[in-house]
Structure 1
Amino acid sequence: MFVHLSAPSGHRAAAAALWLAGLLLASSAWAQSQKARRATPSAAAAVAPTAATTALRDGQAEARLMAVYKLVAEGRSREALVQAENLARDYPNFQLAQLAVGDLLMSRTRPIRHLGDVAPEPDSARSIQAATTLAELRNESRQRVDAQRSRPPANSVPAQFLELAPRSRHAIAVDASRSRLYLFENTPKGLQLIADYYASVGKLGIEKVTEGDQRTPLGVYFITSRLDPGTLKDFYGAGALPINYPNPLDQSRGKTGSGIWLHGTPPDQFARAPLASDGCLVLANPDLERILRTVEPRSTPVVIARQLQWVQPHSVQAERKSFEAVLNAWRNAKTEGDMKRLLGFYAPDFQSYRKKPLDEWTQVLQAEARALRGRELQLKDKSYLRWTDSADTMVVTFGEVAEGARTGPVKRQYWTRRGQHWQIFFEGVIG
């Protein structure tokens, strides 16, 4: 049985406004966010929830929570309570939904000043924990709302994605400042944003450096495998997708640690606080299930940034062409077997897999050049991902195929800009 609010008036209307002051979407921002999300079936279906929801799909719970917030902002508390109760019933482990129900019921008797407006308890371990939990929920709510208010510009992409090969059918980008993961499809017309989700990062934030520092790494990574949820503890929810931290750039900087995954939540928890993991990226299980069904291990890049910079694809064409000229010069030197010119593209501190230094890698390059026997070297399915922090790094993946051959190794190179020149500090075969 549901308890309905009377139409808000007087102090009740003021209470509703105070409840979400600074958090709720303006009507225009809400309309804009819904227009941007209509391309994803899960979000579109969630905008108008019904009392008999049968399929719990990705993005639905958040969209329904935003609809509750909008109703409260419009002074439609009766409808807000009905939808909040439906949401809490369909997702009983969604704490923000339960909190919305509690606040809306409480507003019948007194003004609600902020989300989770409960009377303080006497100082105790229990009251401290309750206060901590409320603070985390308010932060989660704020992050979800801010992400809906500030949608990426239409047709824009994160600046790191200069070019993706067709074999990379999807890509992921994470904006830690917004607790947001963005899922892209790589179409013939370029990257298209198809979904985005709330995501938690490390307890102590970002910029992982050492094992056990409870931070999430920043950089360009790739999904390495898909772990069977049947082999995992309930703690990881619907499953897990490991990424290749530490990558060659991390290793060159002496960073340590391992086991950074995208994973879900335990059965009794819909979502975790924005800062909650030991360094992993944590999503609600319905959202992770969508990603598990969608992405491909090994070929899916994952960019994790402090804050994503969104650009129009045409704005990075000049950077891509400039670097492509350098890569073609490397290819030409290898085709011609000009070892002096070829080695000029490699940094003195070069490393390959198994810590092979440049003098050993030189022997590999010589053998590969001889095997060409005068045939032109062709680079197929090229991807360029750029990472810029204290240094400028280009992560390049391509198929290396000799003229006339049907196949060849898939290689990945890490280039760094030193002065006016790009140099390779890592190269290895990945497939």
Structure 2
Amino acid sequence: MSVRFGAAPAPAARAFVIGLLVGSLLAPAQARNPQPRRAAPPAELRDGQAEKRLLAIYQLIAEARHREALAQAEALARDYPHFQLAQLAVGDLLMARTRPIRRLGDVPQPDSAHSLQVAATLDELRNESRQRVDAQRARPPAQSIPAQFLELSPRSRHAIAVDASRSRLYLFENADGKGLQLVADYYASVGKLGIEKSTEGDQRTPLGVYFITSRLAASTLKDFYGAGALPINYPNPLDQRRGKTGGGIWLHGSPPGQYARAPLATDGCLVLANPDLERILRTVEPRSTPVVIARQLQWVAPHSVSAERKSFDAVLNAWRSAKSQGDMQRLLGFYASDFQGQRQKPLDEWAKVLQAEAQALQGRELQLKDKSYLRWTDSADTMVVTFGEVAKGARTGPVKRQYWSRRGQQWQIFFEGVIG
């Protein structure tokens, strides 16, 4: 795709500009006011289609096929009347018929508070357009995965990864025998003040490894949350260990009168267009779906993480062996001195839990089923591990989650709890 931003030397490029449609620009300011719930979008308006059509219009403009571009832009604006970039594409193409356009949203300099508000909205729309186009120019390599996904259990049928630098959410399917397969990706907005949430009310989106905890239907929420919501488990045990506060971080839809929000627009949540969120709501499973939120995703070939996976598998197997044998001295060596277990239990209290669990095995070998390894690396190296713990001969057992921290050459557990 060869869409240009900024000053354009050629007539075809000059036509690609944001026209000034003041009414549609300022309508979203009313989105938080109570309104009747709008009707569901027509069935044919599926996830990702609006953006795909917008990018096709941009391509037509770059090829100087302006009449086709205008016809498609008008159709897109009719189908998605609140999609501001579609409305503005129409304005661009009409305005370019009358005079050369120097840049996106080439309008007179603001001379009033109203004009300043319009100018600020235009800047947001330029950023949104740029993020959408750049994400298509820099597609992940075929068959690659985010580096955090070392191993995903078959019980996790889907996974989500967010690249904040690209305002992009990637949806994966964990297909039987095929590993993670990228099935869709969407534009997504993050916090007004960016990322790296640390305190309640800081208007930032957290970074880390999270899990969807529940599914909230639109009928139970204010219209502001659009098609529904998927809460995640911020603050997770690593966040809590670092003293981070706050909560209520959701993946949710857009409010009435607004197809999408600016790249930096939320109070910390991840916000998608409603048709895109509806696909995710229909697809993912609470509790078992991981959500990785990164400043910038590192894409790797699946085989490239096999060495890391095998290395950590040996560590977890040693932990399993010590617990199977009831060797408490060796077992406790896997736990950090500042360990904090479920219900805030310190290590001395958790040791009693481990002792009771080891005794209950009655000499039977412990088996770990459906393992998932998710690695998070920032100033520290953390492994988020989920598995089913089943005594040999038993049919079921608890599902546990552990957080391990790498200290030098040694991995140690700083959190452990039962999640199912």
Give the drift of 1:354.
Answer: 1.4
What is the letter of the counterpart of residue 180 of structure 1?
R
Tell me what 1:39 maps to. none
Question: 1:168 is paired with a residue of what secondary structure?
Answer: coil
In the alignment, is the contact (CA less than 8 A) between 1:15 and 1:113 conserved in 2?
A: no
What is the letter of the counterpart of residue 182 of structure 1?
Y
Matched, 1:132 2:120: yes
User: Does the C-alpha gap of structure 1 residues 78 and 179 become closer, same or farther in structure 2, counting only changes over 3 Å?
Assistant: same
Matched, 1:104 2:110: no
- Select the residue among 340, 350, 356 that pairs with 1:351: 340
Matched, 1:170 2:158: yes
Q: Aligned partners of 2:43 and 2:261: how far apart in 1?
A: 24
**Deviation per residue, 1:42-68 (Å, 9 max, x gap):** xxxxxxxxxxx9611100000000000
**TM-score, normalization by structure 1:** 0.89
Give the drift of 1:14.
Answer: 2.4
In the alignment, is the contact (CA less than 8 A) between 1:186 and 1:192 conserved in 2?
A: yes
Q: Aligned partners of 2:248 and 2:43: how far apart in 1?
A: 35
Q: Aligned partners of 1:405 and 1:397: how far apart in 2?
A: 19
- Select the residue among 253, 277, 292 that pairs with 1:288: 277
Percent identical across equivalent pairs? 83
Q: Aligned partners of 1:156 and 1:272: how far apart in 2?
A: 29
Give the drift of 1:195.
Answer: 0.1
1:124-203 matches, within 5 Å, as 124-187=112-175, 188-203=177-192
Tell me what 2:228 maps to. 239
Tell me what 1:76 maps to. 65
Give the drift of 1:84.
Answer: 0.3
Give the drift of 1:15.
Answer: 3.4
Matched, 1:337 2:337: no
In the alignment, is the contact (CA less than 8 A) between 2:15 and 2:96 conserved in 1?
A: no
Matched, 1:392 2:381: yes
What is the letter of the counterpart of residue 385 of structure 1?
L
In the alignment, is the contact (CA less than 8 A) between 1:248 and 1:414 conserved in 2?
A: yes
Q: Aligned partners of 2:48 and 2:294: how far apart in 1?
A: 22
Matched, 1:318 2:314: no
Give the drift of 1:120.
Answer: 3.0
What is the letter of the counterpart of residue 409 of structure 2?
Q
In the alignment, is the contact (CA less than 8 A) between 2:16 and 2:92 conserved in 1?
A: no
Give the drift of 1:228.
Answer: 1.8
In the alignment, is the contact (CA less than 8 A) between 1:158 and 1:311 conserved in 2?
A: yes
Q: Aligned partners of 2:379 and 2:235: how far apart in 1?
A: 17
Q: Aligned partners of 1:19 and 1:317: how far apart in 2?
A: 49
Q: Aligned partners of 2:360 and 2:296: how far apart in 1?
A: 45
Tell me what 1:17 maps to. 13
Give the drift of 1:284.
Answer: 0.1
**Deviation per residue, 1:141-196 (Å, 9 max, x gap):** 00000000000000000000000000000000000000000000001210000000
What is the letter of the counterpart of residue 189 of structure 2?
S
Question: 2:196 is paired with a residue of what secondary structure?
Answer: coil
Tell me what 2:26 maps to. none
Question: 2:259 is paired with a residue of what secondary structure?
Answer: coil
CA RMSD of aligned residues (A): 1.2
User: Does the C-alpha gap of structure 1 residues 54 and 345 become closer, same or farther in structure 2, counting only changes over 3 Å?
Assistant: closer
Give the drift of 1:121.
Answer: 4.0
Q: Aligned partners of 1:118 and 1:91: how far apart in 2?
A: 24
In the alignment, is the contact (CA less than 8 A) between 1:16 and 1:73 conserved in 2?
A: yes
Tell me what 2:396 maps to. 407
Matched, 1:297 2:286: yes
Q: Aligned partners of 2:43 and 2:199: how far apart in 1?
A: 44
Q: Aligned partners of 1:54 and 1:14: how far apart in 2?
A: 40
Question: 2:417 is paired with a residue of what secondary structure?
Answer: strand
User: Does the C-alpha gap of structure 1 residues 234 and 367 become closer, same or farther in structure 2, counting only changes over 3 Å?
Assistant: same
- Select the residue among 246, 251, 259 that pairs with 2:240: 251
Give the drift of 1:16.
Answer: 2.9
In the alignment, is the contact (CA less than 8 A) between 2:389 and 2:400 conserved in 1?
A: yes
Tell me what 1:216 maps to. 205
What is the letter of the counterpart of residue 15 of structure 1?
P
Q: Aligned partners of 1:70 and 1:278: how far apart in 2?
A: 34
Q: Aligned partners of 1:16 and 1:255: how far apart in 2?
A: 50
Give the drift of 1:20.
Answer: 4.7
Q: Aligned partners of 2:183 and 2:103: how far apart in 1?
A: 33
Tell me what 2:262 maps to. 273
**Deviation per residue, 1:374-418 (Å, 9 max, x gap):** 000000000000000000000000000000000000000000000
Q: List runs of 5+ in structure 2 lacking aligned partners.
A: 1-7, 18-41
User: Does the C-alpha gap of structure 1 residues 381 and 413 become closer, same or farther in structure 2, counting only changes over 3 Å?
Assistant: same
In the alignment, is the contact (CA less than 8 A) between 1:19 and 1:115 conserved in 2?
A: no
Tell me what 1:26 maps to. none
Tell me what 1:263 maps to. 252
1:31-110 matches, within 5 Å, as 55-110=44-99
Q: Aligned partners of 2:371 and 2:184: how far apart in 1?
A: 25
Give the drift of 1:17.
Answer: 1.1
What is the letter of the counterpart of residue 16 of structure 1?
A
User: Does the C-alpha gap of structure 1 residues 16 and 117 become closer, same or farther in structure 2, counting only changes over 3 Å?
Assistant: farther
In the alignment, is the contact (CA less than 8 A) between 1:235 and 1:266 conserved in 2?
A: yes
In the alignment, is the contact (CA less than 8 A) between 2:400 and 2:416 conserved in 1?
A: yes
Stretches of 4+ aligned residues off by more than 4 angstroms: none
**TM-score, normalization by structure 2:** 0.91
Question: 2:320 is paired with a residue of what secondary structure?
Answer: helix
Tell me what 2:406 maps to. 417
What is the letter of the counterpart of residue 170 of structure 2?
Y
Matched, 1:360 2:349: yes
Q: Aligned partners of 2:10 and 2:331: how far apart in 1?
A: 71
In the alignment, is the contact (CA less than 8 A) between 2:15 and 2:93 conserved in 1?
A: no
Question: 1:422 is paired with a residue of what secondary structure?
Answer: strand
